[in-house]
Each structure stands twice: as structure tokens, then as C-alpha cells.
A and B are shown apart, each in its own frame.
Chain A
């Protein structure tokens, strides 16, 4: 190796040692953004009485884990790990029902067959992105969400709606915020919780986190960091709702 190359490597090593961990590269979200807005009472009862929590993760490619280097990094698997760590003694099941490319109507169509056999207390329903990309009419989108939530409610589950991801391919759409708004409205109307992924990820971006940190270079899917961070924040949001700190000893402040 030539002297100059050696010098370059030495310089990188020194820089590497002295560089602080950038604050804007950390996984975080404000408390307000993590408020689900629903007590998730069925889940709370299951945890308190049966020491068991059964969750179905319904969704498309984000749920399936496309873009993560390992399916275990997808948010449903991360959610399971984080909940188990936070609630020792509670048996956690997370059933991943993500199918890439699906729109709200396709997921509503399989809501019953995918949720019923798992006896879920929580259905996490990740939706909106494919609907926005395909320009599904907003009223049809809303109707499908309502129908899907009704099915899940009839099967005895609480809902946490997870809205669109904040990534270049979605932000470029003309009306992506309309789809996020419709999801919030339907969630409120149908007494479902909302995990505001869009606003959380937008706050990362606005705090200076570059897309490369949390998006794969297709500009659409979450990478390992994005998936793990969503899993972590979602678990914090759920724990704060159903098992406050004094019961579990779990940290409830985002960091």
C-alpha cells in the first residue's frame, strides 16, 4: 500500500474515532406523535388477566419486510421482541400477514380469514401507501377501511391503524396527505387507534435525517434502520397504552 493510501486510511480512522454519534441519526419521536388515541381495552384485559397478547400485523410490503436485509428486522418481528422484553411473563404472539403490493380492498377481503384463526386482541393494519400510489378514490378507500375494521371488531380485536410511510416515492404523490387524513378520520370514527407513521417519519426527515438512513434506494421501502425503528416506536406506543410504566417497569419516554 502506498504512503498516501496509508495516510488516507489513518485519517479515516482518526475521524471515525472522534466523530460523535449524530443526534439526527437516532431513532426517536415525540410523545405526542406516539399517542395511539385509543385505550386498546381488549388487549389490556388480555395482558392483565391471561398474561397473553395476540397481535395480527395486517398490511403490504412494509409488513412483509421487503427492503429489510432480514425478515426479522421487519417491524412485526421487532415489535414481538420489544414487547417480550418490556413485559416479561406475558406471552406475545405476532402473526405477520403482510402481502406485498396489496391495497385496502384486498386486505379487507382477507381480514376475516387472516384474523379469525389467530384470536387476535390487536390488529395492526398498515395501509394507505399502495392506495395512494394506485390513486384509489378516497371515498372507496375509506369505505374499505371501515368494512375491514368492522370485520376485525366483530372478531373481538382492537385496531391500530398504521398510515403511509414518509419516503420519496410517497411524498412526491400529489395527495398522499389526503390518504393519511382519511385514515385518521376513519380511525376516530370507528374507535380504532392510529400509529401516525407518516408524521413520525416526517419528523425524522425534518430533524435532518437523510432518506438513506431509513429508506432503501428504491425510494419506497423501509430499510433495516427504518423497520427496526418503526418496530421500536410502535412497541413503545402500545406499551404506554396498555401497560403503563409503574406496572411493567418499562421505559415510557422516547429516547
Chain B
């Protein structure tokens, strides 16, 4: 099945990671534009999980690939400090995004003389208590609209050095600890504090870590997964049935005639499908999806190298920059659609324009990276 070496030691780049992470970034952008017709293309309309699970899962997978070899060669301290350098980059990116995001709203409302926009898009707390809000933003406790994903990633990666040695030695035990933490979080309703004081983290790190560590563990144990293939047919049938069930429920939110077919006793079992703590239905949906992708898309699948799909891969390669840009552009798109004309044409145009800009930025980032290394700044 897989190559003999575990993915974290295998040479070359697994193009699936870039491709699906790029796709997830496109989906996150499209889904962040409210009532966007184009978001019909995104995964969340056909099941319980959405692009967030894909993004967090791949982040865990790539974290192992990026840092495990370094730890084996240069020791834990070196790997841990590199991880913290990355955490710092993420933090800087998040703060920059916070400022750019706020400035954009301020700019539009001042230049167009539409104070109601500031009110409408107001970042709760910033207007009422700016000093406190800035302090809380620096502490990641105050996270305005759509700025929830990066803080989650920062917290997950900050804990990663502690898990890394164990991950390589006893991957299944780490998975066990991760699952236990997830179960305890659901049972005891743990969460981290937010701002204003009665808020909590929209993406609860103690719940969502299970997606991150599922990805991380998989990057270690992928070659051993042959034992799973003994039940390949059973698992595939189960996954397909579950995906069909999830698709039916998701479509019932769009069509009342389908919705009326769901009996109350059954609906009582599934609702609410919590996003903050990662409902089990969402997690299982993502696992079923991942299983199907594993079967259908091999690491050497030919379509991954198609030129027409290169823009998606490029976005996936530069995920941090493209994620930030996408979040920023989603607000731009929202303002344009709300201010000028809320029509399918405008939703379509801002969606396409946003994705084109994200791709251009990704190519620019590749171009910078490919240039000759500056003397003294080799990294």
C-alpha cells in the first residue's frame, strides 16, 4: 500500500496536503461571505463537518512532517524552538490581520461617510473599551468575527513540542490521550475564557485538538495502516452510509419537504450539532470523508499534478498568508455585496475576484521563495 518509510521521513512532498489545504482555504473564504451562492460548492452544505476540520487535520499532519525529522537530527530543543518561532509567526500574522481587518472597516466607513457601517460591523468591545479590547486581543481572548481559526492553531501548535517525542515513540498512546481529553471536554464542558467576560473560544482548543492530533498520528503511523485494509470493504460501506446520512440531514436544512421526513425521536438524538466543542457527528463525518479520500486519492494521483489545479496547490503551500488574505477579503466581499447590490451576480463576482487575488498572492509568495537566497539571511 503505502511506501515503506513513514510520511514524516519520506522524501518529496505529498501533493495531497497542498491540494486539500488549498481547497480548504478557498472554502473558508467562500463560507465567510454571508449568504454566498458560491458556497454551495463547499463541503459544509453536504454534511456535518466543514473546511475547518480539513485545515486543522492537515495542520497536524504537516506539523509532524515539518518538525519530526528536525527533532531526530538536531534534538528536541532545536525542534521546539523552531516550532515556537512558527507560533510567533502565526501570532504576528494574527495581530496584523486584526489590525488590517479593523482598519478596513474604519477606512470604508470614514471614506464613504457611512458611520452606520462601523456600527454594523462593529467589533464588539472595541468601540466601548478600546484599551481593554486591545489588551484582550493581544492575549487572544478577544477575537472579532472570523478571527477564530488562527488563535486555535496558535494554541495547538504551542502545545505541540510537548507531544512530539511521544508522538514518534507511542503514536497510539498519544491518540488515546487526545481522545480522552476530547471526551472529557465534551463531558465536563471545558473551555478557555474569552472576552467580553462571558464569552468562550468559538473553536474550543481542547475539543478541536483531536482533529489536529488525528492528523499528526496519521503522519506517523500511515505505513502501519495496512491492518485497517483487512476491513476495507466494511469500513468503506460504513463510511459511505454515514456520508449519505449526513448529506441527507444537511440537505434537509435547505428543503422543508426532506426535513419533514425526519422523525422527532431521531432529530432529538442528533441536534444540536455543536461546532464550538466539535460534536462527535462532525468528527466522525470528517473521519469518514478522510477514509474515502484515502481510498480515492492516492499520493501519486495524476490529477494532483494537473496545471489547471496548480493555483489550488499554490494556495495550500502558502497557507498562512493565503488564510489571512482570505479572511481580509471575505470582509471586503461582504461590504461590497451589502453596500452595492446583493445579487447572485455580485456574490459570484466577489467570490471569483477574491479567489483570483488569493491565487496571485500565492504565486507571488512562491516567486519570492524561489529567488536566490540573500546573503546572511539564509533560512
Contacts and interface: CB of A to CB of B under 8 A. Distances in A.
A180 to B, nearest CB: 16
Nearest to B272: A220
A13 B348 contact: yes
A15 B122 CA distance: 34
Contact of A171 (B264, B274, B344): B264
B271 A15 contact: no
Nearest to A25: B35
B275 to A, nearest CB: 6
Contacts of B121: 70, 72
B272 to A, nearest CB: 4
A171 B267 contact: yes
Given A16-B37, A208-B256, A225-B35, A100 B198 contact: yes
A210 B272 contact: no
A54 B236 CA distance: 59
Interface string A215-235: 111111100110000000000
Contacts of B250: 217
A12 B348 contact: yes
B268 interface: yes
Interface residues of A, number: 38
A210 to B, nearest CB: 5
Nearest to A172: B267
A217 B48 CA distance: 8
Contacts of B122: 70-72, 77
A95 B24 CA distance: 38
B351 to A, nearest CB: 11
A212 interface: yes
Given A81-B119, A171-B267, A211-B253, A16 B275 contact: no
A219 B264 contact: no
Interface string B277-314: 00100000000000000000000000000000000000
A72 B254 contact: no
B379 interface: no
Interface of B: 32, 34-35, 37, 44, 48, 116, 119-122, 124, 144-146, 198-200, 250, 252-256, 259, 264-268, 270-275, 279, 343-345, 348
Given A211-B256, A211-B259, 14 more contacts: A12-B37, A16-B348, A64-B199, A69-B146, A72-B121, A100-B198, A172-B266, A172-B267, A173-B268, A174-B264, A205-B256, A210-B256, A217-B275, A218-B271
28 contacts: A13-B344, A16-B343, A17-B344, A19-B344, A64-B199, A69-B34, A69-B146, A70-B122, A70-B145, A72-B119, A72-B124, A81-B119, A98-B198, A168-B259, A169-B272, A171-B264, A171-B267, A172-B268, A209-B256, A210-B259, A211-B256, A216-B275, A218-B271, A218-B274, A218-B275, A220-B271, A220-B272, A221-B272
Interface of A: 9, 12-13, 15-17, 19, 64, 69-72, 77, 81, 98-100, 168-169, 171-174, 205, 208-212, 215-221, 224-225
